[in-house]
């Protein structure tokens, strides 16, 4: 697709979704996110060569939240192979992203790496492998996006920590089953900092390009074997939109990962990555306008994995 074609598609997407921009609510249980303007909307597409096209607020940084879980998983798979799958599953949860229910039945093994419990296990492993889980994530995202200024918001991280009793409960529960190797508070500190990363649609579209390139980084080096990149894309498709992953696959038809900050990243393998941001989220934690925009994008382009 030529540059002008991308730009025309993005223009059409914005026109189609403009009526639903502002729908939904912000993540009020994280006070630092509660006041974000729900009328904001941005979208960016990065092709496999690193060319980026955007529309609206596509260069405005926002809190990535659970989108960060893609990259921590990738870094662990890159350094540790498939060992992490002994400690976390690959199945949809069917429950809210911060649910304790299934951990009780499944002996402290989270259903997948994209719910909070699963991401805590991945963060714990990355902390063991690198000594600095947050720093490893930050450095990777800076390299892939080409933006050395990227970092996290201490205000958002503190806000999450102050209201993070459920995440602490998840971590302590898993630790009681021996599924965390590091001190709970240390794991939580890194996890909250990772979720508090601030990036734009441009940054995220570029940073996720390794999944469209089947494991190859922006500099041409290989981060992951093709098999591991396929695994991440598969888990994104089945588990990336919390307990609405089936609806996301039905409407969008691409591997994707959402965050309660209103961002969603999606992958068109071999072609491009797409990031959309609009802060109004539904009860499952997915951006209302973001899902609509990706639905429109795949409908207009005919690109999906189905």
Beta bridge partners of 55: 43
For the question of residue 66 being annotated catalytic, the response is: yes
Q: Among this protein's residues, is 69 annotated catalytic?
A: yes
Token digits for 203?
């940054």
Contact 68, 120 (CB under 8 A): no
CA distances from 39 to 16, 53, 65, 295 (A): 15, 21, 19, 19
- Residue 191 known to be catalytic: yes
By the 8 A CB rule, do 57 and 41 touch? yes
The CATH number for 272's domain is 3.40.710.10
Mean pLDDT, range 208-226, rounded to an integer: 98
> Which of 151-155, 185-189, 214-218, 243-247 has the lowest average pLDDT?
243-247
φ/ψ of 161, rounded to 5, equals: -65, -40
Residue 154 lies inside a defined structural domain of this protein: yes
Task: Judge whether 109 lies within some domain.
Answer: yes
Catalytic residue chosen out of the listed positions 52, 63, 69, 274 = 69
| pLDDT at 97 (0 to 100) | 64
3-state helix, strand, coil in the chain (%, to 5): 50, 10, 35
Per-residue confidence at 30, pLDDT binned at 50, 70, 90? confident
Number of H helices, E strands in the chain: 14, 8
Is 100's pLDDT higher than 90? no
Is 262 among the domain residues? yes
Q: Which residue pairs from 11-19 have beta carbons closer than 8 angstroms and sit at least 24 positions apart in sequence?
A: 11/55, 12/296, 12/300, 13/43, 13/55, 13/293, 13/296, 13/297, 13/300, 14/41, 14/43, 14/55, 14/56, 14/293, 16/292, 16/293, 16/296, 17/41, 17/289, 17/292, 17/293, 17/296
- Asked if residue 10 is part of any domain, the answer here is yes
Given a contact cutoff of 8 angstroms between Cβ atoms, the answer to whether 263 and 204 are in contact is yes
**257 labelled catalytic:** no
Which one is catalytic: 184, 191, 235, 258?
191
- Cross-strand bridge partners of residue 274: 45, 266
For 281, counting Cβ atoms within 10 Å of its Cβ (0-12 exposed, 13-18 middle, 19+ buried), the class is buried
The domain of 44 spans 3-301
Above pLDDT 70, what percent of the chain?
Answer: 98
Instruction: Flag whether 306 is in a domain.
Output: no
What total number of domains does the chain contain? 1
Q: For residue range 113-140, list pLDDT tens digits in order.
A: 999 999 999 999 999 999 999 999 999 9
3-state secondary structure of 43: strand
Q: What pLDDT, on a 0 to 100 scale, did the predictor assign at position 182? A: 98
Binding residues: 66, 116, 160, 167, 191, 242, 260
* pLDDT tens-digit series, residues 249-280: 999 999 999 999 999 999 999 999 999 999 99
| 221 belongs to the catalytic site | no
This prediction has a pTM of: 0.96
> 20, 88, 121, 260: which is the annotated catalytic residue?
260
- Around Cβ 11, how many Cβ atoms within 10 Å? 11
Considering 17, 21, 64, 66, which one is annotated as catalytic?
A: 66
Residue 215 confidence (pLDDT): 98
**140-157: b or e for each residue (b if 16 or more CB lie within 10 Å)?**
bbbebbebeebbbbeebb
Indicate whether 149 pLDDT > 80: yes
**Structural domain includes residue 230:** yes
Binding site residue list for substrate: 66, 116, 160, 167, 191, 242, 260
């Amino acid at each position: 697709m030529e540059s002008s074609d991308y730009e025309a598609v993005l223009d059409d997407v914005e026109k189609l979704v403009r009526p639903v921009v502002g729908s939904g609510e912000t993540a009020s249980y994280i006070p630092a996110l509660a006041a974000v303007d729900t009328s904001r909307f941005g979208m960016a597409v990065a092709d496999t060569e690193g060319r980026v096209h955007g529309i609206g607020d596509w260069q405005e940084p926002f809190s990535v939240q659970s989108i960060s879980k893609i990259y921590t998983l990738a870094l662990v798979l890159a350094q540790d192979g498939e060992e992490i799958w002994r400690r976390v599953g690959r199945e949809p949860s069917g429950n809210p992203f911060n649910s304790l229910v299934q951990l009780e039945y499944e002996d402290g093994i989270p259903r997948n790496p994209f719910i909070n419990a699963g991401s805590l296990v991945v963060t714990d492993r990355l902390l063991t492998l690198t000594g600095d889980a947050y720093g490893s994530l930050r450095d990777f995202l800076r390299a892939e996006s080409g933006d050395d200024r990227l970092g996290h918001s201490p205000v958002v991280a503190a806000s999450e920590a102050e209201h993070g009793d459920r995440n602490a409960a998840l971590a302590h529960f898993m630790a009681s089953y021996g599924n965390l190797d590091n001190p709970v508070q240390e794991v939580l500190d890194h996890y909250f900092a990772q979720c508090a990363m601030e990036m734009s649609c441009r940054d995220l579209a570029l940073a996720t390009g390794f999944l469209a390139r089947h494991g190859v980084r922006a500099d041409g080096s290989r981060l992951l074997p093709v098999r591991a990149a396929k695994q991440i894309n598969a888990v994104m498709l089945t588990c990336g939109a919390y307990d609405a992953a089936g609806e996301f696959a039905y409407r969008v038809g691409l591997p994707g990962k959402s965050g309660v900050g209103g961002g969603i990243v999606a992958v068109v393998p071999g072609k491009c990555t797409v990031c959309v941001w609009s802060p109004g989220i539904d009860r499952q934690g997915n951006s209302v306008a973001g899902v609509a925009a990706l639905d429109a994008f795949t409908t207009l382009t005919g690109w999906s994995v189905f």
